[in-house]
Amino acid sequence: MSEVSIIGLDIAKHVFHAHGADGKGRTVFSKRITRGKLLDFFAAQPSCTVALEACGGAHHWARQLTQFGHQVRLIPPAYVKPFVKRQKNDAIDAEAICEAAQRPSMRFVAVKSEEQQAAGLVFRTRDLLVRQRTQLINAIRGHLTEYGWVAPKGPSHVTMLADLIEEDEMVNSLPKAAHAMFRVMLDLLDSLNGKIADLDKEIARRAREDEVSRRLMTIPGIGPISATAIAALAPPAETFAKGRDFAAWLGLTPLQRSTGGKQKLGATSKMGERTLRRLLIIGSSAVVKQASKRGAPKGSWLEQMLARKPRMLVTVALANKMARIVWALLLKQENYKAPVAAKA
């Protein structure tokens, strides 16, 4: 039997499938493995390349298999799909992973450590709580509308809503059951606000202690949350050949539909790390808003863009520019230096 050179592993909760191939890409085995026997199976295999889709649990298994001397490669699922043959099952998926990993131009995902995943979990948790807070605020506003009370949008008006519900006039006009439910939702809202505030303090503390985060915060529009999120979620800067590649990984570059030598660019791709992309756009929006009110530096790129482009387009373009600056600072390990406009 030929020696195994690469193994494509399709992972799941309980049942896995391994597809082994030799150096020429010929199939050596295709085997169904239960979760309890997976590590024993790979411990018995000679050191080789093991490819997995970068999905839930992939980083955990990558760390486990690396301990057996295997070289683990994680592939984005979107890059595996073109290699899937007709129909779909675990065996076909494992074969497609194995085939995709053998392509010379294939792009891989860096394996994260447990500490990196834990740092990223802080932002995932905060996002979850913020979404729940927004859901509660919208529920309160919507239910109050049913009783003829209309309130403005946004969390800044929550205090007004709480005071409104506790007023004697409101208490008397609302059914007791409705008032009790509003009280439950407001209590939940207070609890969420407290937990979000605690997470903001934890993120600020990490930003002060981390050298990379402090360096990133020198960029206008990047605060503690964005800086620590980039440090935790972004792969090493050396992964990308240039700043545009990092911006494309975030989904901040335009879609290309070029053909016949003609360049055709579409809308922003939005194909990338959504958490970091959202944070950069929020940061750039704050910079653009401030520049619209107080004016951008004379002769700067931002001033020229605001003079001839819509505000939202400038916001996304600035987020793209910020992503490239982030890549440069991470690679060169330097602080941000504001450009000086050339004298006429």
pLDDT at 339 over 80: no
Average pLDDT value for the chain: 89
Give the residues across from 17 on adjacent strands.
Answer: 10, 32
User: Cβ distance 93 to 17 under 8 Å?
Assistant: yes
pLDDT at 152 over 80: no
pLDDT at 151 over 80: no
Write out pLDDT tens, residues 24-82. 889 999 999 999 999 999 999 999 999 999 999 999 999 999 999 999 999 999 999 99
Q: What is the percent of the chain with per-residue pLDDT over 90, rounded to a whole number?
A: 61
User: Cβ distance 46 to 68 under 8 Å?
Assistant: no
Q: How confident is the model at residue 221, as a pLDDT?
A: 93
Is residue 41 packed enough to be buried (19+ CB in 10 Å), middle (13-18) or exposed (0-12)?
middle
Residue that is written with structure tokens 């760390």 in the block: 63
- Token reading at 340: 């000086």
**Residue among 247, 249, 190, 201 nearest 225 (CA):** 201
Q: What is the largest CA-CA distance in the chain?
A: 85
Q: How confident is the model at residue 214, as a pLDDT?
A: 93
Write out pLDDT tens, residues 262-293. 888 778 877 888 889 999 999 999 999 999 88
Q: How confident is the model at residue 266, as a pLDDT?
A: 79
CB-based contacts of 94: which residues, under 8 Å, 6+ apart? 8, 9, 10, 17, 18, 19, 30
Write out pLDDT tens, residues 200-243. 999 999 999 989 999 999 999 999 999 999 998 898 899 899 99
For 213-222, 325-334, 335-344, which range has the lowest pLDDT when averaged over its residues? 335-344
Give the amino acid at 149.
W
Averaged over 290-303, what is the pLDDT?
A: 87
Could you tell me which residue, 160 or 328, shows the higher pLDDT? 328
Per DSSP bridges, beta strands 71-75 and 49-53 are parallel
- Token reading at 228: 């620590």
What is the three-class DSSP state of 148?
A: coil
| Backbone φ, ψ for residue 157 (5° rounding) | -100, 5
**CA 11 to CA 83: how far, in whole Å?**
17
Q: How confident is the model at residue 188, as a pLDDT?
A: 94
Q: How confident is the model at residue 148, as a pLDDT?
A: 80
Averaged over 237-258, what is the pLDDT?
A: 89
User: Cβ distance 160 to 150 under 8 Å?
Assistant: no
pLDDT at 344 over 60: no
Write out pLDDT tens, residues 170-195. 666 778 888 889 889 999 999 999 99
Other CB atoms within a 10 A radius of the CB of residue 46 amount to 10
**CA 100 to CA 103: how far, in whole Å?**
6
- Token reading at 55: 């999905």
pTM: 0.82
Cα–Cα–Cα angle for 276, 96, 79, rounded to 5 degrees? 25
* In the chain, alpha helices (H): 38-43, 58-66, 77-80, 90-101, 114-145, 158-166, 168-173, 176-209, 211-216, 224-233, 243-250, 274-294, 301-308, 311-332
